[in-house]
Structure 1
Amino acid sequence: MAKDTLFILERSYTDDDGEYFCRDCVEVDGLLALFPELGARLNVIRVPWTKPRVPVVEALGEDNQNCPALAFPEGGFVNTQDALLAALHERHGFPIRSS
């Protein structure tokens, strides 16, 4: 059976003003670290910050490059944080965020 694919940004990026991280990606990365048995159900692809993010474009289209994103093998995807966390819970058993 094909796995859902999670696209997540690489750890951080640096520019002239400093080093930055994506808070949504860090939240999802934390879930993967805390629940590795659940994360094993996913195909996790780390993508660079710079666009175009080729693997994401190939899977979701050029207009849907924001991360994190979760693509479903049967078609469709989610790429907003609330929808992604809900899908991780419903499809893979991750706990629910408590605001």
Structure 2
Amino acid sequence: MVTKDTLFILERSYASEDGGEYFCRDCVEVDGLLALFPELAEKLDVVRVPWPKPRAAVVEALGQSNQNCPALAFAEGGFVNTQDALLAALRERHGFPLRNS
């Protein structure tokens, strides 16, 4: 039985076929919140997943068609995986501050 919400976030970066290194802007924003508010982050199970799809842990929790990250799976069922909805859920469910922009 899951007792905490689970946050799925992509690993730090990935190298593309053209040799460039990229990061996910939304994941970096959420990762920054976790770092700035570690006492709130403790309320979550944080799972870092690799960039390539299929993302097995996300598929298992949210289904094949919901592999977008970051994603927040609620302990009681349901999830959000769009940035605005995720940030709102982190605020409402865990007390993270509001984004100013």
TM-score (norm 2): 0.96
Deviations along 1:60-85, one digit per CA (max 9) or x if unpaired, are: 00000000000001110000000000
- Please name the residue that 1:39 is paired with: 41
Aligned mates of 2:26, 2:7 — CA distance in 1: 13
Query: 1:37-65 CA distances to partner (integer Å, 9 max, x unpaired)?
Result: 00000000000000000000000000000
**Whole-Å separation in 2 of the counterparts to 1:74 and 1:35:** 24
Aligned length: 99
The alpha carbon displacement at 1:17 in A equals 3.6
- Determine the structure 1 residue equivalent to 2:93: 91
Identity rate, percent: 81
AA paired with 1:46? R
Aligned CA RMSD, in angstroms, stands at 0.9
Corresponding position: 1:56 with 2:58: yes
Which has the larger displacement, 35-44 or 12-21?
12-21
The AA in structure 2 aligned to 1:55 is: A
Aligned to 1:77: 79
1:8-47 alignment, distance < 5 Å: 8-15=9-16, 16-47=18-49
Query: Which residue identity lines up with residue 48 of structure 2 in the other structure?
Result: R
Q: What runs of 5+ residues in structure 1 fail to find an aligned partner?
A: none
Tell me the TM-score normalized by structure 1: 0.98
Paired residue type of 1:13? Y
